[in-house]
Amino acid sequence: MTAIGIIGSQGRMGQALVTAIAEAGHDHAGGADQGDDIAALIGASDVLVDFSSPAALHDTLAACVAANTPIVIGTTGLEEAHHFAIDQAAAKIPVLQTGNTSLGVNMLAALVEQAANKLGDDWDIEIVEMHHRHKVDAPSGTAKLLGEAAANGRGIDLGAHSESGRDGITGARAKGAIGFAALRGGSVAGDHSVILASDEERIELIHRAENRMIFARGAVKAAAWLLGQNAGRYGMDGVLGL
């Protein structure tokens, strides 16, 4: 039985994680939220799962490194400084960071990478995502994950080849670009479509999240897997054995 602590325990994902931990037969070590001292939680946990805010990540990573405690990071909206801090922590402890803990989404990413690799850049790639009205970041972490998969398949840098926020007279679509569109409304847990379109045919790869439990169950599976790993930075592909 693995003792799993939750950072961001009062949020919707935190509540789903409590259920997923019990379903998997692990021990819920407790939770911490903004302003809480996480030292006690870390002391009671074999591994942490973090779905809190990016602002808290630096302090959380420092505390995990000090206690030699592995951590799964599912927080989205991360910037370059956060990824630098994750890389530094991963030199000392196991860290799994992902824009989406769903097993299905990560299998989709593997398919997107394969398709992008096998099809030429005369196939346009567009990523469309929709989430509930309360989501604060766009494109979603999952959309970025899928964009990175497409870019990796083509052997290009996503930052230099992405297009988003089209409005007005934008000119023709750049050859080889990876496009993003973000939709917000209602209570949608998460819909993602990757469209590969040529002049005469189109492939659409789609994932729809029915509820947040898929993310919670994937995060718990990732936490149990991470506990047996050496220091390093990992993704969900390792959990899936891809």
* Cα separation, 52 vs 20, whole angstroms: 17
What is the rounded CA–CA span in Å between residue 122 and residue 102? 30
Residue 35, token pair as written in the block: 């302003």
Distance CA 14, CA 235 (A): 20
Q: How many CB atoms lie within 10 A of CB 9?
A: 21
In whole angstroms, give the CA distance from residue 138 to residue 128.
Answer: 11
Question: Is 92 an active-site residue?
Answer: no
User: Given 26, 131, 192, 221, which residue is catalytic?
Assistant: 131
Q: State the Cα–Cα distance between residues 78 and 65, nearest whole angstrom.
A: 19
Whole-number Å distance between alpha carbons of 46 and 176: 44
Is 83 a catalytic site residue? no
Q: How far apart are the first and last CA of the chain?
A: 25
Residues listed for the chain: 242
What's the number of CA atoms in the CB half-sphere (13 Å) around residue 35?
1
For the sheet with 202-208, list strands across it: 162-164, 178-184, 124-131, 191-197, 202-208
The total of other beta-carbon atoms located within 10 Å of residue 38's CB is 24
By annotation, the residues acting in catalysis are 131, 135
